[in-house]
Amino acid sequence: MPDNNIKRSVTVAGHRTSITLESAFWEALKEIAVAQNKSVNGLIAEIDSLQPVNLSSAIRVFILKFYKEKSNS
């Protein structure tokens, strides 16, 4: 199975950090940012403001909840 993890540097709360996500999650994050008229960095900053222990995991859960709520509406 090919490694489809992508590591990107983002600025969150004024500091640079690296986030590693599977390519499908990066694509979903971009789609959600566009749908909410936000930047990907802005969306990540909002998720980070909830003070997760693991930001990559928090992003995955955020994406899952977003699409789950979308499918229920």
Residues 1-53 pLDDT 10s: 456 899 999 998 888 999 999 999 999 999 999 999 999 999 999 999 998 89
What is the number of structural domains in the chain? 1
Task: List Cβ neighbours of 43 (8 Å cut-off, separation of 6 or more).
Answer: 29, 32, 33, 36
Q: What does pTM read for this prediction?
A: 0.90
The answer on pLDDT for 70 being more than 90 is: no
CATH of the domain at 51: 1.10.3990.20
Strand partners, 16: 11
The whole-number pLDDT of residue 1 equals: 45
Q: Please, are residues 9 and 20 in contact by the beta-carbon 8 Å criterion?
A: no
Containing structural domain, residue 24? 5-72
The whole-number pLDDT of residue 3 equals: 64
The whole-number pLDDT of residue 2 equals: 53
